[in-house]
Amino acid sequence: MSSSTSRPLPISQPAPSPWAGEGLWRALFLVLVVILLYAPVLGRLASQFIVDPNYSHGFAIPFFSAYLVWRKRDRLARLERRPSFAGLGVVLGAIGLLFLGSIGAELFLTRISLVLIIVGLILYFWGGAYVRLLIFPLSFLLLMIPPPAIIYNRVVFPLQLISSWFATGALRAIRIVPVLREGNLLILPHCTLEVVEACSGIRSLMSLLAFALGYAYLAERSLIVRTFLGLAMVPVAILSNGTRVVLTALMAHYRGAETVDGVLHPISGVVVFLIAIVSVFALHGVSVWTRRLWRKYGKL
């Protein structure tokens, strides 16, 4: 009669979270260092969010990025930590941009360096696998950074002309209000409207782009559909803003020019923007329906 000694089966242990114990304190320490180093940059950026309505959505960007990181916490816990010295180069490059931007009063460089130093620190302490997994939340932070003035000015005026052109064509098509366009001026029978920078559509374009990309990332796995929804925000912003200009022209014609600066004007902006938000869901629905049709009949 033989006897055998039973050995206990090994119990697999869950992978340690990179944010537990030492990893958590290291992450908190790095956050504190970045905040102290970039306090002036963050202060001026927050002030612009408050003062400039074009970028008021910027406050929501870091919170949404943090939420996306939190959603990936289980996948991050399963990754093997492999620190890379390449991250040190990225950190030094970011500090260099911060220095150049500070002495040259170039806000864009200092703000871009903020995102770069976050990427560099993650790469240096945790490794490239973490950066690849967090590529979208990190890239999404770029949407809170206003573009350089030279690019902004080159984009705004063409948008003003496009909105003016669209509004003129729409008003002539409905044949209710006679209108003559001169540049970004709409000459009506009783008044003249100017499509100013605030009515160019750049404000809604920035907010719509951030919303569409965030929504697409959460609701859609197809890179093609995500890209489509992001690119579609350009014509959506133009059409929605042109529609607002048409409504403003109609209010000025029937209710008087004083209504342009009254409460009806901002209300129309909110309504048109909400319609543009609904169009994001509609475009996504159309893309899903088209994909289903392609899968069903594409091979026939």
Q: What are the pLDDT digits (tens) for 148-187?
A: 888 888 888 888 888 888 888 888 888 877 888 888 788 8
The region that residue 175 occupies, defined by phi over 0 for left and psi between -120 and 50 for alpha, beta otherwise, is left
Q: Helix 264-297 crosses helix 223-255 at what angle (to 10 degrees)?
A: 150
Q: Read off the pLDDT of each residue in 269-290 and give the average, rounded to a whole number.
A: 88
Q: Among 73, 90, 185, which residue's Cα sits nearest to residue 137?
A: 73
Summarised one tens digit per residue, pLDDT across range 195-254 is 777 666 777 788 889 999 999 999 988 888 899 999 998 888 888 888 888 888 888 777
Give the tokens for residue 131. Answer: 């950066």
Q: SS3 for 17? A: coil
- Residue partners of 21: CB distance under 8 A and separation at least 6: none
pLDDT score of 75: 92
Summarised one tens digit per residue, pLDDT across range 66-95 is 999 999 989 988 988 898 889 889 999 999
Domain ranges of the chain: 22-146, 150-295
Q: SS3 for 15? A: coil
Q: Among 113, 52, 118, 124, which residue's Cα sits nearest to residue 85?
A: 124
Q: What share of the chain is helix, strand, coil (3-state, %, to 5)?
A: 75, 5, 20
Q: Parallel, antiparallel, or unpaired: how do β-strands 180-182 and 192-194 relate?
A: unpaired
Q: What is the pTM of this model?
A: 0.81
Q: How confident is the model at residue 4 (pLDDT cuts 50, 70, 90)?
A: very low
pLDDT score of 64: 95
Give the tokens for residue 180. Answer: 């003559």
Q: Give first-to-last CA distance, the chain, whole Å.
A: 70
